[in-house]
Amino acid sequence: MVPKKSLFFGLLILMIILSGCTGASTSEKIYNHLEKAVELEQSFEKQQDPIVELEQEEQEIYSQVIDLSMEEFDKIKKLSDKALDNIETRKEKINSEKESIDASKKEFTNIDDMVGNLEEEEVRKKADDMYQAMMDRYGAYDKLHNAYSDSLKLEEELYKMLKKEDLEQEKVSNHISKLNESYQKVIDTNKTFNKLTTEYNTLKQKFYKAAGIEVEYDEDTQKEKQNNKDGSNESDKKNESDQKEESGE
């Protein structure tokens, strides 16, 4: 038989353990999911600089191609192949980006039911605003990813066209027009994504403040990153593309 005193202490220890498991407040649980979502976007962040570097590299290749004449067709083919390799690498990078964002979204949506359980109306309202902004951000990223993927597909088609000796100039010009339109879509969707990133970070800080959660913000580690691609490379390509159309090469 277990002594009553031992049984009492045993129950007391069990109660302490259980309270430790369930003691975190709803706002603290939300905080943990939010910061975990940030961590899961680290892979997304790591892809940004390499993608921009690859864009610049492809732009240089394109500039070389349009300066060549048909007498240097072998060089055009080699450069086109180099550009196609560049495009494949960028495809891999943006797919890694998307996997990171999707993992972040899966973690973030864990707070959906928690938001409604917040007791204070002001805190609940700020949490809801924050949640909606982040979900809009995820939606904007999906549109950006699709727009960028479409541009890569059109780039790929362009370089395959440039490898053909019997290429018709009108066909190239029409394709370049489509490519320029796709670049503009990338620029527009990228701006929306970055705007929503800033909006979400602001609303998250307001939620933390209302909930009494003290957080030290670090630009490099605490906030979701904006997309580095500001459209400058796409804009440069557009100008180069126009030059190609006018030159008639």
Q: Which of 3.40.50.300, 1.20.1250.20, 1.20.120.570, 3.20.20.70 is the CATH number of 26-247?
A: 1.20.120.570
- pLDDT for 227 equals 67
Residue position matching structure tokens 């430790």: 20
Q: In this structure, which amino acid lies at residue 192? A: T
Q: In the chain, which stretches have pLDDT less than 50?
A: 1-23, 221-224, 231-236, 238, 240-249
- pLDDT for 216 equals 74
Can you list the pairs that 110-115 forms with residues at least 24 positions away whose Cβ atoms lie under 8 Å? 110/33, 111/29, 111/30, 111/33, 111/34, 114/26, 114/29, 114/30, 114/33, 115/30
What share of the chain has pLDDT > 90, as a percent? Answer: 70
Q: In this structure, which amino acid lies at residue 4? A: K
Half-sphere exposure of 57 (CA within 13 A, CB side): 16
Q: What is the 3-state secondary structure (H, E, C) of 147-177?
A: HHHHHHHHHHHHHHHHCCCCCCHHHHHHHHH
Rounded to whole angstroms, how far apart are CA atoms 18 and 10? Answer: 12
- pLDDT for 225 equals 52
